[in-house]
Amino acid sequence: MIHLPVLEINGRNIGAFSKTNGSMPVSKSFFRLLVLLAAVAYAAVWTTGYLRGLIEVLALPMLLAAIFARPLPVGRFLLQLGSVLALLQAIAGRGGSTPGVVLLLQFAGLVMFLQLLVVDCLRAAHGVIILSLMIILAVAAMNVNFVFPLVLIPYVLTFYLVLRSLTVLRHQAMAKSPIKLSNRNPLSWHRIAVGTIVSVLIFGFLWLVMFYLIPRTTSFGIASEVSRRKLKGFSDTMRLGEPGLLEDNPAVIMRVKPLEEKTLTPSALRRIGNKLLRGATFAWYNAGRWEKGTKRRWYIDLRQSSGELRLNRGHYSPRDLHQIELVLENLDPPVIFQPDRAINMRFTQPFIAYEDDLSFYFLFRPGTTRRYVASVLLDPLEPEDSPLSEVELDDETSPYLHEKGIPPRVQALARAMVTEEMTVLGRVERVMRFLRSQFEYSLIQKDLAGVDPVEDFLFGSKEGSCEHYVSAMVLILRSMGVPARPVGGYSMGEWNDIGGFYTIRQGHAHAWVEVYFPRSGWVPFDPTPSVMLTGPESDFGRLLQTLWNAYEGYWFSYVYSFDNKAQGLGFRRILEALSENLASLRSYLFSPALWLLIVVIVLFAYFGKNRIARINRPGRWIPDWYFDWADSCSVQRCEWETPAEYHRRLLSLGVIDSELREKLDRLVELVDLTAFSNTSNRSEISAVARELIAELSKSTALNRIHS
């Protein structure tokens, strides 16, 4: 009878190791780690642009909880009641316009907050960990904001630290004593760092695979930092000095991407970079406030022209046109920004709207980015000059010729600058030279109570922003009898070599002037002097800026631009490639040459396998007739044995009688003679060897019978 040793644990009941220890209280450091984990999960939700109001409300209680490192002195009733209310709120919001995944985030975020505030044991901490992971996965499924990967890294690191502390607390509960981790422990700091990096890479790979394979919808939207924001400076009014076009904000408004190789030359990119993106125009001026003229709006049905809007009826060669794609953020109002010298624009929407001044708008604010393609001419428009007498007062020019609201000093200045024989272009150039030579650009806004901003700009401070330059030029030209109007829009912004696109930010907002020429129509002029762009002063700052631009470029090229249309196109290309490969495979399978090759290979394998095996055997100097005899013996020859060694083993095992020793020695001589001599009578040697082999085989068979 076998007695197995019994393992005894002194001082502890073995049943303690089977318990979950879920009722063990949490330490202050572990509670703060849970608060940090929840805060990073909320930061991930913040990057989507949704639920920011809710997160702002929850921020203060979480901060207080982290400072005092203790849950609220309430029971489980608050958690249960709050969870039920959060669930009812999510169910009630299903019929609205809020996407379902946002309602899920709202429910999970509220429950995680309530769970966090009543964490008093390890069991309750599990709920916070699981809910935070659910929030991260939901955000990853809906978000393409380039800030999310930067939030993911600290989340994974904090997640590992929480699991590490949770494991230590469980071991302490079982051992009932403090535990100190060594460097070789799987929970050491350097192992956690390696695990964090590997986990981020694996999570990022799986996230990208899911992102590109899950069908894209229009319910999530890009949800970037400026999504669902009011676009400043493009309403029905524009007031000088108010935040709007002057707002120095790095938030991305749109991106412009050349679509053709011919546009990617340095010369073409330079001319594209000089273009202006027209947004809104204004007609009436009153004490620093511009308002639109008539607000009548018409609608265009683009279904009849396959989505194409023709802006210029002239005929141009396709080689002179350059295709650029404009990708706008989800902003209000839904302005269609028009590049200057755009010949046509193509939309995927069936309807758009336009106003008297040829400002275009989308009919509604969609849930995702807005895309359209414009065909533009690179060179600026050269106006055809004409005398002022050719300017006619009609519906197109009259809103931009009236002098109402123009200060008398500005009118007197305009009359002093012009002569009757000056043409329209001569008057424009005269005003441009005046403004650029005697005034300075400045974004500093002064409080001008009761003073007209344009009058102060021309006769007082002599410095101002682009709005002051534009307003002054328009008012002076109107006082000269030239139709002019201010235009609000954007300059082309920064070129990104990595992504191959221009990034237009809120800080690139700009204003310029459109002047009416009787023979050329409305022509843009920019009286604002060139402003030196500033950037990081240190080499390290420039390096960080370059790396950030590169990251943003890759993100825009491969993630930001990936919508349901791009996904469908990618799936179609994959299916086309598979179909082509399958067609090629079928043609190969039914090819006569392929079947002939298969037959030859099969025959060669069948008839030549023994020969190939012998050639590949170690000791290929041994003739084939010896291999045939050795294979027929009951005791097989080892690869490393010579014939003489093999024979000695056969004799020692009694497979062959000792009386046949001489014949075995003669057989060894024949093998050596065949392998190492230059004799030509190999056939005779083979015949003698086969006679000996026959005798040996007969003796071996008789020996087997006697046995």
What DSSP string describes 666-694?
A: HHHHHHHHHHH---S-HHHHHHHHHHHHH
* Domain-located, residue 5: no
Final residue belonging to a domain, choices 213, 244, 269: 213
Tokens found for residue 144: 């393409």
Only one residue has tokens 């935070």, namely 132
pLDDT of res. 706:
46
The domain boundary residue, chosen from 532, 556, 573 = 532
DSSP state at residue 556: I
378 and 521 inside one domain: yes
Please check whether residue 321 lies inside any domain of the structure: yes
Residues 332, 414, single domain; the answer is yes
Strand order across the beta sheet in which 351-355 lies: 297-301, 351-355, 360-362, 335-336
Contact 486, 276 (CB under 8 A): no
Q: Same structural domain for residues 287 and 234?
A: yes
Q: Given this model, what pLDDT does residue 683 score?
A: 78
The DSSP 8-state label assigned to residue 544 in this structure reads H
Bond preceding residue 186 cis, omega within 30 of 0: no
Instruction: For residue 496, give the 3-state DSSP assignment.
Output: strand
Are 539 and 425 part of one and the same domain? no
Asked if 42 and 148 sit in the same domain, the reply is yes
Pair of tokens at residue 628: 């045939």
- Give the pLDDT score at 222: 39
Phi, psi of 403 (to 5 degrees): -105, 15
pLDDT value for 484:
93
Predicted confidence at residue 617, as pLDDT, reads 47
* pLDDT at residue 142, rounded to an integer: 64
**DSSP state, residue 700:** H
| R_g (Cα) of the chain, nearest Å | 43
Nearest-angstrom CA–CA distance, 430 and 138: 60
* 274, part of any domain: yes
Domain finish residue from 186, 213, 240: 213
Lookup: tokens for 690: 């086969």
Distance CA 196, CA 288 (A): 57
Q: Are residues 257 and 397 both part of a single domain?
A: yes
> Would residue 12 count as lying in a domain?
no
Mark whether 236 and 294 lie in a shared domain: yes
173 and 234 both lie in a single domain: no
Are 448 and 576 found together in one domain?
Answer: no
Do 421 and 476 lie in a common domain? Answer: yes
Cβ count near 210 (within 10 Å):
12
646 lies in some domain: yes
With a threshold of 0.75, does the pTM exceed it?
A: no
Q: Position 435: which residue type?
A: L
Domain around 555 = 534-590
Say if residue 543 is in the same domain as residue 636. no
Is residue 448 in a domain?
yes
Classify 525 as helix, strand or coil: strand
How is residue 514 written in tokens? 């459109």
* Assigned domain for 1 exists: no
Q: Is residue 277 part of a domain?
A: yes
The domain total for the chain is: 4
Tell me the average confidence (pLDDT) per consecutive run of 10 residues in the chain, 707 residues long.
40 48 76 89 81 83 81 61 72 65 82 82 83 83 64 82 79 64 56 70 68 54 43 70 61 85 90 90 86 80 88 81 85 84 90 86 70 90 88 85 87 89 92 89 72 86 86 92 91 82 84 91 89 60 71 66 65 78 76 78 68 49 80 81 84 80 83 75 79 76 50
Q: Are residues 659 and 526 in the same domain?
A: no
